[in-house]
Structure 1
Amino acid sequence: MKVIPAVDIQGGKAVRLVEGDPARETVYFEDPVGAALYWEEQGASLLHVVDLDAALGRGDNRAQIRRIAAALAMGFEVGGGVRNLREAEAILALGAERVVIGTVLVKDPDEAARMLETLGPERVVPSLDGRGLEAAVAGWQEGQAGDVLELARTADAMGFRTLIYTDVRRDGTLEGLDLEVVARVREAWPHELIAGGGVATDADLEGLERLGVEGAIVGKALYEGAVDGRRWWRG
């Protein structure tokens, strides 16, 4: 199973938030390039980068993303505020391997379909963020945005082939995954599934493996040493 380190950027720094609250941040690296290089040196093969400022509509960190692209040998994906084809193409032009979309899938599915048709399923990945199975969008500031399972089925019908599911209730809390919820998403989504939100120990990752989940995005548990990514990256 792929363990994918998360580098969330807010105000130009690599941070982790608790339950997506921008006021509850912990700064782990003053320079997100340092965070990216650290995980590459540890053996990761893919990085999950989130531009929190773009997601919240208060600027962006594209200069930092460009610097990450210049420094890394491994691939990375970028999410946060990517809500139309033009923005997706701009992120890819910075050097990202693929873009992650969320709000646009819920609020403007026609634009999401245009992004998929133009870029292909290898370069654009939908992310469903939910409080349990209730979808949240716009940097998790807007809830009641639909049912995660129905949205997953919609994404499948549209032609997407990788899905990210994040449990907002547990993200950044080290409380462990809600595997019952992940199991329901697994049942609804027949392709590659990547899960996150609350990974606390290797037991969470082992639980995902038992469910047949192909990957996990891990943040705080890696930064604080609760999970040793090298165990997973060495196979």
Structure 2
Amino acid sequence: MKLIPAVDLLGGKAVRLYEGRPETATVYGDPLEAALRWQEEGADLLHLVDLDRALGQGDNREALRTIARHLRIPFQVGGGIRSLETLQEVLDLGAHRAVVGTVAVKDPGLLERMLALAGPKRLALALDARGLRVVVSGWQEEVPLSALDLLGRWAGMGVRTVIYTDVRRDGTLKGLDLEVVAQVRAAWPHELIVGGGIGSPEDLEGLKALWVEGALLGKALYEGRVSLRRAG
């Protein structure tokens, strides 16, 4: 299973939110320093999120460009990618793939055009949910759609990578809801990456037992609960 450090950017800083709420941000300093730290500790893929763009309050494009110039490993970028132009901008950064959430839920037509532009290898979809209740727009809006139904729709469109995040647990270090993860795993036959609440090596073992292909690690890394070197 691939361990993927997440670097979330808010106001030019590396942060972690609690349950996705911007007012709860814990600041961890320079996002470039964080990205380089995880690279040096052995990560072979980074997950970068522009929270300002996701929330519709600006962007961190200059910071992302700086990180992209310094990385030797692949990286993926998410947060506020809601147009073909923004998607192309992320791909032009050199991103291994772009991560799309709100559009994937609310605009199937635009999602099809994004898949045509990027291809399934360079486009991953974010399934952000409170359990199985889907949320969009920087996790601020709940939509009346079943996460499991969405997975069936996306598979039929040719999507091959989904990143499931349980917003109820994100940034809490409380551990995963493995019963929900098991339902997502059963509904999704392709590459699955899971985040939201990982707080210990035991959580990673739980994901491995479900044959999950990747784990997103945020606060657990910053707080020393999980080590890339020991867990990798």
Alpha-carbon distance change, 145 to 79 in structure 1, aligned in 2, over 3 angstroms: farther
In structure 2, stretches of 5+ residues that fail to align are none
Per the alignment, residue 226 of structure 2 pairs with: 227
Per the alignment, residue 25 of structure 1 pairs with: 25
- Deviating more after overlay: 98-107 vs 86-95: 86-95
1:84-133 C-alpha deviation (Å, 9 max, x unpaired): 22110011112211100000011111101111112101111001000000
**Does the CA contact (< 8 Å) of 2:201 and 2:231 recur in 1?**
no
Per the alignment, residue 34 of structure 2 pairs with: 35
**Alpha-carbon distance in structure 2 between the residues aligned to 1:25 and 1:81:** 18
Q: Which residue identity does 1:63 align to in structure 2?
A: E
Q: Which residue identity does 1:206 align to in structure 2?
A: E
3-state SS of 1:198 partner = coil
**Does the CA contact (< 8 Å) of 1:125 and 1:163 recur in 2?**
yes
**Does the CA contact (< 8 Å) of 1:99 and 1:123 recur in 2?**
yes
Per the alignment, residue 60 of structure 2 pairs with: 61
Deviation at 1:65, TM superposition (A): 0.6
Confirm whether residue 216 of structure 1 aligns to residue 199 of structure 2: no
1:28-80 C-alpha deviation (Å, 9 max, x unpaired): 12x21111000000000000000000000000000011000101000100000
**Does the CA contact (< 8 Å) of 1:99 and 1:124 recur in 2?**
yes
3-state SS of 1:37 partner = helix
Deviation at 1:20, TM superposition (A): 0.5
Q: Which residue identity does 1:33 align to in structure 2?
A: L
1:206-234 C-alpha deviation (Å, 9 max, x unpaired): 0000001010101000111101111233x
Deviation at 1:145, TM superposition (A): 4.2
Q: Which residue identity does 2:217 align to in structure 1?
A: V
In structure 1, stretches of 5+ residues that fail to align are none
3-state SS of 2:142 partner = coil
Q: TM-score with structure 1 length normalisation? A: 0.97
Q: Which residue identity does 2:170 align to in structure 1?
A: D
Within 5 Å, give how 1:55-204 maps onto structure 2: 55-204=54-203
Per the alignment, residue 16 of structure 2 pairs with: 16
**Alpha-carbon distance in structure 1 between the residues aligned to 2:94 and 2:158:** 24
1:5-43 C-alpha deviation (Å, 9 max, x unpaired): 0000000000000001000011112x2111100000000
**Alpha-carbon distance in structure 2 between the residues aligned to 1:91 and 1:144:** 26
**Does the CA contact (< 8 Å) of 1:88 and 1:99 recur in 2?**
yes
Per the alignment, residue 2 of structure 2 pairs with: 2
- Deviating more after overlay: 127-136 vs 145-154: 145-154
**Alpha-carbon distance in structure 1 between the residues aligned to 2:146 and 2:230:** 35
Alignment identity in percent? 60
* Ranges of 4+ aligned residues in structure 1 off by more than 6 Å: none
Q: Which residue identity does 1:224 align to in structure 2?
A: E
